[in-house]
Amino acid sequence: MLYPAFFNSVSRRRPSFSAHFISSRLLVALLTLLAVLEARGQSQHTAESPRNMVASVNPIATAAGVSAFEQGGNAVDAAIATALTLGVVDGFNSGIGGGCFVLIRTAEGDVVAIDGREMAPAAAHRDMYLRDGKADGSLSRVGALASGVPGALKAYSEAVSNYGKLAFSSLILEAAEVAENGFQVDRVYSSRLRSTRKYLQQFPGSAAALLKPDGSIYEPGEVLRQPDLAETYRQIAKCGTNWFYGGEFAKQTADWMKSNGGILTVDDFKNYRTVRREPVRTTYRGYDIYGFPPPSSGGVHVAQILNILESFDLQELQEKDPAKMRHVVAEAMKLAFADRAYWLGDPDYVQVPKGLINKSYAKQLAAKIDVNKVTPVMSHGSPPLKEGDFSKKHTTHVTAADADGNWVAITTTVNTTFGSKVIVPGLGVVMNNQMDDFSIAPGVPNAFGLVGGENNAVAAGKRPLSSMSPTIVLLDGRPVLTLGAAGGPTIITQVVWGLINHLDLGYSVGDALAAPRLHHQWSPDRLVIETALDQKQVAELQQRGHDISSRRGIGVTQAIGWDPKSGRFTGSHDPRVPGKAAGQR
């Protein structure tokens, strides 16, 4: 680990705002260099520390989280510092132009869920994407009509203000320095630019911010600087989040939207609110599992799948017949996703039954699984409705933990790669295309192939359904694991695999993330597997009746575990992509 000595020397000389600003420029520049050098020489995707831990998909962002720890911050500060920096170095996945779910287990033992999901504009309506009576999916994915009101910034600020120890302004200023000084584009960032260049070129602000003057992309190793994003971050640090929600950022964005056929207004920004929600809690083989409630479908269906799987001894199945174990898990996923399509939506607008995570209902669903062959699932199930509902009445995951007992899981997104592909000129912020997560018309799949019903139809002020699944696991009241993922609907199944691999099969945190995955989302009726899966198991799954397609990788997961025996955190980033897990020594 290269960081601690440097951090100690820097953190001792931060006596004033001006000193902070000067040292932050040096800090970020050196952090960037150290992170890149270490990433080049490191093959392992895990790290250990007795004090704290943070994990993300980018070494520079993780270094910002460790820096927050070194400045006296806790896991909340570290997670938000990491998330803000990811908005710079991983902006095709997330940023303040998008939304997030923040799940926090505080040192006092409370579990808090902050909903920073985007909201539909006031002028949004159920049929806004119909043209000549037919749904036009391109309108909800690219351009001015694709964006909901961003919520990530407000959620980040609220999390730090209520549960952190550092000033939010200091965290965002250090991220601004990364944007100003630039960073070396890696192969993943470059490939995302290549895949979306023709869309980015449609919008002058996007082309100016993310492409070279001649319209070509930044190749791996080249430095991308984002001065407009840096200035936006600095204005937020100076003026507060109201500059974004109703101030100059909102005004410039609303003017651009009006000129380009969009409907987002200054009032939409002014009226945005985060929502405190009650976390989803279930038990699994003696563990307490906390997830995020609707409009996340993740917490509900991770819990539902686990409840179904409790009827099976997965460890025994793995030892005797690994293909059968995977078949059972796939069938449980299929049953849950059928329920997702029908029942899930924004709980402030529709009733989402708590009976979906009822143990008795899970046993009914488990009884439908034939361990030897595929069972067709024609439609959703009928969970008990008497238990009430969950109402108040492309993506990345950040996780952090500290020895005081603060644990944080944040999943944040602009939806698909570079969101709506829109950057308003002069602002530098990638705007989300989260409106595509609504059901733009019954039975019409979104960018991830998911279909939905009326519960997830577009409505003014409504939050679209999400698969984001930040998760925290407790044993005897003490946190022992947190994880979350990126990858659309595969987020849910990735989290399930992480939990199964670690809690059922006894894999280490790193091995739990590295193990081959499979995914089934009911519609389309297809089992997606990773190419690393043993071919004998693939053949046996086909013999059981699965229609199989393969991918090199299914999503990206980050996790942190705690071992009470050794008294150490183990952090892991997904080995499928570059990333970094790190903590103080």
User: 403-418 pLDDT, tens per residue?
Assistant: 999 999 999 999 999 9
Type and span of the H or E element at 47:
strand 46-49
What's the CA gap between 412 and 101, in Å, rounded? 6
Inside any domain, residue 429: yes
Give the model's confidence band at 435: pLDDT under 50 very low, under 70 low, under 90 confident, else very high: very high
The pLDDT value given to residue 453: 62
- Which of these ranges, 94-98, 179-183, 262-266, 458-462, has the smallest mean pLDDT? 458-462
Is the predicted pLDDT of residue 223 greater than 60, yes or no? yes
Is the predicted pLDDT of residue 308 greater than 50, yes or no? yes
Q: Are 288 and 473 in contact (CB under 8 A)?
A: yes
The pLDDT value given to residue 446: 55
Is the predicted pLDDT of residue 478 greater than 50, yes or no? yes
Give the model's confidence band at 43: pLDDT under 50 very low, under 70 low, under 90 confident, else very high: very low
- Reported pTM: 0.89
Pairing between strand 548-551 and 527-530? parallel
Is the predicted pLDDT of residue 450 greater than 80, yes or no? no
Q: Which of 8, 46, 112, 14 has its CA nearest to residue 563? A: 46
Question: What is the rounded average pLDDT of the residues 565-581?
Answer: 95
Is the predicted pLDDT of residue 443 greater than 50, yes or no? yes
Inside any domain, residue 406: yes
Strand partners, 485: 557
The pLDDT value given to residue 107: 98
CA angle 447–253–119, rounded 5-degree value: 50
The SS3 assignment for 580 reads strand
Is the predicted pLDDT of residue 386 greater than 90, yes or no? no
What's the CA gap between 449 and 353, in Å, rounded? 24
The pLDDT value given to residue 488: 87
The sheet with strand 518-519 has its strands ordered as 518-519, 527-530, 548-551
Considering 32, 85, 253, 395, which one is annotated as catalytic? 395
The pLDDT value given to residue 455: 80
The pLDDT value given to residue 444: 60
The pLDDT value given to residue 12: 28
Is the predicted pLDDT of residue 161 greater than 60, yes or no? yes
Domain with 33 in it? 4-275+395-456
The pLDDT value given to residue 133: 85
The pLDDT value given to residue 36: 42
Is the predicted pLDDT of residue 11 greater than 70, yes or no? no
Inside any domain, residue 364: no
The pLDDT value given to residue 54: 98
Inside any domain, residue 13: yes
What's the CA gap between 234 and 232, in Å, rounded? 5
The pLDDT value given to residue 135: 83
Q: What is the DSSP string of 403-454?
A: TTS-EEEEEEE-SSTTTTS-B-TTT-PBPP-GGGGSBSSTT---TTS----G
Question: What phi and psi, each to the nearest 5 degrees, are found at residue 390?
Answer: -95, 15
Is the predicted pLDDT of residue 28 greater than 50, yes or no? no
The pLDDT value given to residue 344: 86
Give the model's confidence band at 341: pLDDT under 50 very low, under 70 low, under 90 confident, else very high: confident
The pLDDT value given to residue 32: 45
What's the CA gap between 276 and 156, in Å, rounded? 13
Per residue in 118-153, pLDDT (tens digit) is 999 999 998 999 898 888 989 999 999 999 999 999
Inside any domain, residue 44: yes
The pLDDT value given to residue 451: 52
Inside any domain, residue 192: yes
Q: Are 292 and 298 in contact (CB under 8 A)?
A: yes
Question: What is the rounded average pLDDT of the residues 546-551?
Answer: 96
What's the CA gap between 503 and 21, in Å, rounded? 45
Question: What is the rounded average pLDDT of the residues 311-330?
Answer: 98
- Catalytic site includes residue 395: yes
The total of structural domains in the chain comes to 1
Is the predicted pLDDT of residue 2 greater than 50, yes or no? no
Amino acid at 434: Q
Q: What tokens does 271 get?
A: 């009226």
Q: Which of 512, 395, 398 has its CA nearest to residue 60? A: 398
Inside any domain, residue 166: yes
Q: Which of 580, 576, 538 has its CA nearest to residue 554? A: 576
Give the model's confidence band at 439: pLDDT under 50 very low, under 70 low, under 90 confident, else very high: confident
- Which of these ranges, 372-376, 382-386, 432-436, 559-563, has the smallest mean pLDDT? 382-386
Helix orientation angle between 152-163 and 168-181, rounded to the nearest 10 degrees: 130
Is the predicted pLDDT of residue 41 greater than 50, yes or no? no
Integer angstrom CA distances of residue 373 from 52, 307, 331, 534: 45, 21, 9, 19
Q: Are 568 and 50 in contact (CB under 8 A)?
A: yes
Q: Which of 91, 83, 95 has its CA nearest to residue 192? A: 91
The pLDDT value given to residue 384: 85
The pLDDT value given to residue 349: 84
Q: Could you say which DSSP state residue 151 is in?
A: -
- When the pLDDT of each residue in the chain is averaged and rounded to a whole number, the result is 90
Question: What phi and psi, each to the nearest 5 degrees, are found at residue 562?
Answer: -125, 130
Inside any domain, residue 369: no
What's the CA gap between 584 and 101, in Å, rounded? 26
Pairing between strand 556-563 and 568-573? antiparallel
> Tokens 């996945």, residue?
93
- Which of these ranges, 18-32, 75-89, 244-258, 518-532, has the smallest mean pLDDT? 18-32
